[in-house]
Structures are given as structure tokens and as C-alpha cells.
Amino acid sequence: MQRRSVLKNLAIGVGGLISLPAWASNWTPDSIGNVSIVSFNEEALLGELVETFIPQTDTPGAKSLGVHQFVLRIIRDCYGQSALTTLQQGLGLTDATAQQTYSKGFMECDAAQRKDVLTKLSASTDPVGKPFVDMVKGLTIRGYTNSEFYLVNVQKYVMAPGYYHGCVPVQKIAVNGTR
């Protein structure tokens, strides 16, 4: 009898969830769309930058998870004007450094060359170089580790675990894959 009322109550819960306001269910990363604080080309460049930090292997890289969009969103909405300036100048500096070193744009460089350009930027005497690399790298890591792919597959995130155990062997976690 009690079980039946649990089920009934859960059903009420699910019924309620279906009637969420439209803006709530529409509010997903896909629907937020492009973030136009940089040009289309610059956005593409940033896509290759985040991909250089975390490349595609047998698992997705940062670009295919849209991490460059996250980076732009955070800089636009959560950081100040100076961060935006660092981003814009840094993107220019990235291409300039690639031109200087390899006589071609960053987009045309291969993976090893791109890594080299970022390492050079980090050690650059240009005051924008290191802050730019640090900011984009930090946000790339944050965006990647906050992605659905990472949270579900690596962190084994479960929204509603339904339990808490205060003391379990670490090995058990590795096997069960639940944190």
C-alpha cells in the first residue's frame, strides 16, 4: 500500500516536470548559439586553440565539445573588459607568433607546431602572451571538465544518486564507477 503511494507520488512529480515553462527546457548550451564578441575567424582560431590544449584522441577533444564557446561565454558574461581585451590581443598575438616562427597562420600549423606556438606565447616577452595562454587554458580545462562527456564518463556524475555512504574503499569506487 505504501509502495503504491510512493509510485503515485513519483507520478505526480513526473507529471509536474513535463509542464516546465518553455524557456527552461529551451535553455541549453545548443540553444544559446554563437557568442559574437570575436569575429568568425577568431572564433575558429579559438576552436583550434582549445583543441591544442585538449585534443581529440579516442575520446572527444575540446573543440568538438564546444569548449571554445564556453570560453567566450565566460569571458563575455563573467569577466571584465580587460579579459576581453586580453582575449582579442592574444588571438592576434597567436597568429603573429605562428607567422614569425613557421611563416604561416596558426590554423595552417600542424599539431606539434601549434603546441610550440602556445609554449612560445607562454614564455613571450609580450605582456599579453602569458595571461592570454593562462586564461584560455584555465577556461578550457574548466569547460572540458564541466562537459557532459567528462562529468558522465570520467567523474561518473549522477544527479540523483539516492544514497550516501560515508566510508567506502577507493577500489570499490573505481570498479563501480560511482563517486
Partner 1 sequence: MAFLNIDSVKERTFDAIVIGSGISGGWAAKELTEGGLRTLVLERGRDVKHITDYPTTMMQPWEFPHGGQLSKEYLDANPIASRCYANREDASHFFVKDAEHPYVQEKPFDWIRGYHVGGKSLMWARGTQRWSQYDFDGPARDGFAVEWPIGYKDIAPWYSHVEKFAGISGNKDGLPQLPDGEFLPPHEQSCVEKHFTEQMAKHYNGTRPIIIGRCAHLTKPQPIHYQQGRAQCQNRSLCQRGCPYGGYFSSNSSTLPWAAKTGKMTLRPDSVVHSIIYDEKKGKASGVRVIDAHTKAVTEYYAKIIFVNAACLNSNLILLNSTSNRFPNGLGNDNGLLGKYVAFHNFRTTISAEYEGFLDTTTEGIRPNSSYIPRFRNVFKQETDFLRGYAAGFGSSRMTSADTSGIGEDLKASLMQPKYGNWRVGSHMMGETIPKEKQLHCFGPESDRSVGHSTATYFGWIRRQRREDDPGFS
- Binding positions for partner 1, rule: CB under 8 A: 2, 5-6, 9-10, 12-13, 16-17, 19-21, 23-24, 27-29, 32, 52-55, 57, 59, 61, 70, 73-74, 77-80, 111, 115, 118-119, 137, 141-148, 150-151, 154-155, 157, 159-173, 176, 178-179
> Which is closer to partner 1, CB of 29 or CB of 127?
29
Largest CA distance in the chain: 76
Q: Which is nearer to partner 1, 41 or 56 (CB)?
A: 56
Helix (H) or strand (E) holding 11: helix 2-18
* Of residues 108 and 148, the one with the C-beta less far from partner 1: 148
The distance of closest approach from Cβ of residue 159 to partner 1 in the complex, given in angstroms and rounded to an integer, is: 6
Calpha distance 63→71 (Å, rounded) = 11
Of the pair 40, 164, the CB lying nearest partner 1 is at 164
Nearest of 118, 123, 158, 125 to residue 140 by alpha carbon: 118
Beta carbon of residue 42, minimum distance to partner 1 (angstroms, whole number): 20
| CB 164 to partner 1: min, Å | 4
Tell the smallest beta-carbon distance from residue 86 to partner 1 (Å). Answer: 15
Which stretches of 56-127 are assigned E, i.e. beta strand?
Answer: none
Which one, 32 or 101, has the nearer CB to partner 1? Answer: 32
Q: How far is the CB of 105 from partner 1 (least distance, A)?
A: 19
Residue 164: all three cell numbers together:
550516501
Q: What is the 3-state secondary structure (H, E, C) of 19-43?
A: CCCHHHHHCCHHHHCCCCCCCHHHH
40, 79, 82, 144 from 106: Cα distances, Å: 15, 26, 24, 22
